[in-house]
């Protein structure tokens, strides 16, 4: 019974039940998004990053969570304000690498 309870809880949690992107996938897609700002790539990435930061929060990895939130903010800003800002670089990318 004690073994089946954690498995049951994990299966009910939709964040854990589905495959989360790896840090390298997030970084690769973030670079693509900063370069091209394609609608589908960026909008899917926003959702993937959101799931990942929730998992990091649940694991009390707050430096990683904050770095991921910063990256997400930069991506959203670059995507929605692409006409206003010419330089879209990704200042938070090294922090995600360091803290995650």
Domain assignment present for 88: yes
Domain residues for 38? Answer: 21-99
Asked if the model's pLDDT at residue 64 lies above 50, the reply is yes
Mean pLDDT value of segment 68-84? 83
- pLDDT per residue as tens digits for the range 3-35: 444 444 444 455 445 677 788 888 888 888 888
Domain assignment present for 78: yes
pLDDT at 61: 94
pLDDT at 60: 94
Contacts of 25 (CB under 8 A, 6+ apart): 48
Distance CA 65, CA 85 (A): 25
Domain assignment present for 5: no
pLDDT at 66: 93
pTM equals: 0.72
Structural domain total, the chain = 1
Domain assignment present for 14: no
């Amino acid at each position: 019974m004690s073994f089946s309870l954690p498995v049951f809880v994990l299966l009910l949690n939709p964040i854990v039940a589905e495959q989360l992107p790896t840090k390298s996938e997030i970084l690769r897609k973030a670079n693509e998004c900063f370069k091209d700002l394609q609608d589908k790539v960026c909008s899917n990435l926003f959702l993937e990053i959101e799931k990942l930061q929730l998992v990091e929060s649940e694991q009390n990895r707050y430096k990683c969570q904050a770095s991921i939130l910063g990256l997400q903010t930069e991506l959203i800003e670059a995507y929605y304000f692409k006409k206003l800002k010419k330089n879209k670089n990704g200042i938070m990318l090294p922090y995600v690498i360091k803290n995650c």
